[in-house]
Amino acid sequence: MAISAEQEREQLNTGTREVSEAHRFDPAPLEAWLKANVEGFSGPLEVRQFKGGQSNPTYQLVTPSKKYVLRRKPPGKLLPSAHAVDREYKVLSALFPTGFPVARPYALCTDETVIGTMFYVMDMVEGRILWDQTLPAYEHAQRMPIYLAQVKTLADLHNTDYAAIGLGDFGKPGNYFARQIDRWTKQYKASETEIYPEFERLLAFLPSTMPDDDQTSIVHGDYRLDNMVLHATEPRVAAVLDWELSTLGNPLADFTYFLMNWVNGVLATIDDKKAHGAPTVEEVVAEYCRLTGRPGLPALDWYFSYNLFRLAGITQGIVGRVRDGTASHPQAAEMTKRVPVLLQKSWEFAQKAGA
């Protein structure tokens, strides 16, 4: 029986495995560091590697009484400003005391002699990680609360007073889209392996048609269903994961990235959302606006084009790491096929936005 792309992705990314040769290290210095720096730590220590993660290698630290998670910079040649695990640690440390759902951060290690690169350690949050946004394992009545929980959690993040929790220097307020387009263009060019005409067309269109940057908030940067842990039994988010791309920026960039599920993801294939138990695009927008106090949202096609362009830049970066031998995911080579598809879709939305 054939499996869906989402099921295949779930199988490839769920659970742990033996640590790969490229990411192996001597656990003895790490155990000594944990005893000295992580409150309540007690060995012996077993180190395993999570299957998922395209960028920062992520490990499960198993002890007789508790499990922890370690995220590190990958070894080898890296792009400038990428893999900033210290920034991840900073945003987790700021958000955790507010009650926003993130794993408890324990300690950051900048001493590269311990395991070879910078890393941090956080709590392992137990619960459900779901991969298929259509929620096929759930009944009709169970689905809507899960969708709305995702919207509420994102709205809670955007409503957080970043300056009040010590993140006033976490990014530059304003000009977010200009800075992001510039960032991902540079990453794309640094990692470029093939020439696609859509890239140059988008590079001419997007910067010249940017919407006004109306607000600044903490943005997650990769907010999607499989980057969160849902509570084991309740329809609420227990922890948002993978903060590598977080910064201060325009909350609409974050929200419309999440909304891409409805226009370019598996939810786009479901014609009757009500019959399925899912909200429509309009209902998601209305709920987000209600929770964040917005009167409404502007035309969304530019934002969708921007998000796909950004995804192409991120994906091309993974392709570049395959070329350079630093990719941390065994399926990273498959990303090569995604780049032209993302660029084509981005250009289609750009045309709807007036290109």
Residues 34 and 107: their CA atoms lie apart, in Å, by: 9
User: Does residue 345 contact residue 338 with C-beta atoms inside 8 Å?
Assistant: no
Distance CA 253, CA 175 (A): 12
Longest Cα–Cα distance of the chain, Å, equals 61
* Domain limits, the chain: 5-123, 140-352
Quote the DSSP letter at residue 162. T
Strands 46-50 and 247-249: unpaired
The three-point CA angle 130-136-138 to 5° equals 85
Residue with token string 């045309």: 351
pLDDT for res 1 = 46
CA–CA separation, 161 vs 166, rounded Å? Answer: 9
CATH topology (fold) of 5-123: Phosphorylase Kinase; domain 1 (3.30.200)
Give whole-number Cα distances, 178 to 184, 287, 312, in Å: 10, 28, 16
Beta strands in 168-308 (DSSP E): 217-219, 228-230, 237-240, 247-249
- Residue 18, φ and ψ in degrees, nearest 5: -60, 150
Q: What is the DSSP letter of 217?
A: E
Which tokens sit at 132?
A: 């298929």
In total, the chain counts a number of residues equal to 355
C-alpha pair distances (Å), 108 with each of 36, 70, 105, 185, 235: 12, 10, 8, 30, 31
User: What does the alpha-carbon distance between residue 82 and residue 139 come to, in Å, rounded to a whole number?
Assistant: 40
Q: What is the mean pLDDT of each run of 10 residues along the chain (355 residues)?
A: 54 76 92 96 94 78 96 73 83 98 97 95 96 95 98 98 97 89 92 90 96 90 95 97 94 96 93 97 97 93 96 88 69 80 96 95
CA distance 135 to 147: 9
CATH number listed for the domain at residues 140-352:
3.90.1200.10
Which positions ≥6 away from 315 have C-beta within 8 Å? 335, 338, 339, 342
The 3-state DSSP class for residue 159 equals helix
Of 91, 72, 94, nearest in space to 83 by CA: 72
CA–CA gap between residue 223 and residue 83 (Å, rounded): 17
Identify any residues that bridge with 59 across adjacent strands, giving them in sequence order: 49, 70
Look-up of token digits 């311990």: 114
pLDDT of 78 reads 56
